[in-house]
Amino acid sequence: MAPVSSKICIIGAGVSGLAAAKQLAHHNPLVFEASDSIGGVWRHCSYSSTKLQSLRCDYEFSDFPWPDRDSTSFPSYTEILEYLTSYANHFDVLKFVRFNSKVVEIRFFGDREATDLTGKPGDYPTILPGHPVWEVAVQSNHSHTIEWYAFEFLVVCIGKYGDVPKIPEFPRNKGPEIFQGQVLHTLDYCKLQKEETSQLLKGKKVAVIGFKKSAIDLALECAEENQGPEGQPCTMVVRTLHWTVPHYWIWGLPFYMFYSTRSSQFLHEKPNQSFLRTLLCLLLSPMRRGASKIIESYLLWKLPLQKYGLKPDHPFEEDYASCQMAIMPENFFSEADKGKILFKRASNWWFSKEGIEFDDDTKLEADVVVLATGYDGKKKLKAILPEPFRTLLEYPSGIMPLYRGTIHPLVPNMAFVGYLESVTNLHTSELRSIWLARLVDEKFKLPSVEKMIEQTTKEMAVSKKTTRFYKRHCISTFSINHSDEICEEMGWNSWRKKNWISEAFSPYGSQDYI
């Protein structure tokens, strides 16, 4: 049976998939979503206490503002899902989505010579060649049969988070199999109902592995379930410390003044800058380090990080530059003060029958161990991409080289949306979806493969200089410049404000790109 043919396929209906579907709606894309609903990680990787890490006005589509966008409260994950559903309904995006349809394999049958996999000078293939070049195998939740579809262009929006948990490796006979208690990943925890999480945590000795946002929220939920004299403490096993902030004000100043204005980002290195600009960045480096020190001093004053041994050894700037800054829940340290949340620093650990053992010869008894160890987005891609393109994911830098955060120069007729991080990932995905739609409509042309690789290499070099955590592929310290280059490539004016004062000192957001 011949595969069903269409022009554009979008894989995934999370935030990035919805943004791509809306911008490419005039091409009637076919969107495959493995689950029964939109929302991606907001639907499937959220706890009952999960909230947005930024203000509403910083997390909205340019043409669909929040109804209460000026509220200073952080919206819950249910509010975000309602917002995304309203967006999808307003722009009639759901008509493109096929739910319960999991992409299990992708095949390329286009011209393999069209893309030079050695990275030598050449042109990227035509975006819509006029005939199918990709075949996509889709399995329905309600059937074991596979249906094949053919497309001219694929947009991959399955993201780096959710679906595939990252599980630590353990020495032989020191893994979860010897533990007499219960082991689960945060991905498993997210699937539990409120009554089930209460039963799992209440009165139990719980160890949470990790110290990022998901681990912090889970530890707080555990503490709240264990109030009273009979309650057991939750122990966070911390390997790498990261800076946390209580809110977006620093010594009475709005946080955006430090990193999210054009003038503040002027202090940071960016790709394609001139020698004079590089020299100026070097001369202004004390100001850049000073801004980081000011924020650190506030956090150390506001939060008992030193009291609990939670002060990171690296500058705050490195966490911001790698998109790892997390909002600390208001009552987190009050629970720690009551002894309901404990902390254990450890470089290496493994399981025992009774709990966990550490490389300093100490032990921790536990009934439940929750792995807040992240997700393996690369493994998700490898599961569906064919060779030789799968091999291209084994990039030496650890970062998938995406031109404009969207096009892999060596993968023909395919885009990736949602793999580049910034201060607000929704805005990042939307602007790159706008860019992609204009590219598909031939409003502009891509540079040569060589030029695209050169650009991505420059961006990775900047990230490596800025933070040791560069593999997350975050552009927060030069996000305005990144958006400038996208605007210029689309033929837009890169300066989006009404006057030079606003241009220099006002924060940039999605509303600037209407």
Binding residues: 16, 33-34
Tokens 């790698």 found at: 322
CB atoms inside a 10 Å sphere around CB 20 = 32
Instruction: Give the tokens for residue 330.
Output: 């208001």
Between CA 439 and CA 247 the distance in angstroms is 38
| CA dihedral (333, 337, 339, 343) positive or negative | positive
Binding annotation for FAD: 16, 33-34
Instruction: Give the tokens for residue 326.
Output: 């997390």
Helix runs in 251-401, H state only: 256-259, 262-265, 275-283, 285-302, 316-321, 332-337, 377-384
Between CA 447 and CA 49 the distance in angstroms is 45
Is the distance from CB of 456 to CB of 46 less than 8 angstroms?
no
Q: Is the peptide bond before 388 cis (omega within 30 degrees of 0)?
A: yes
Between CA 90 and CA 92 the distance in angstroms is 6
Is the distance from CB of 258 to CB of 319 less than 8 angstroms?
no
Is residue 209 classed as helix, strand or coil in its secondary structure? strand
| CA 479 to chain CA mean position, Å | 15
Helix runs in 207-273, H state only: 213-225, 256-259, 262-265
Q: At what angle do helices 425-440 and 479-490 cross, to 10 degrees?
A: 20
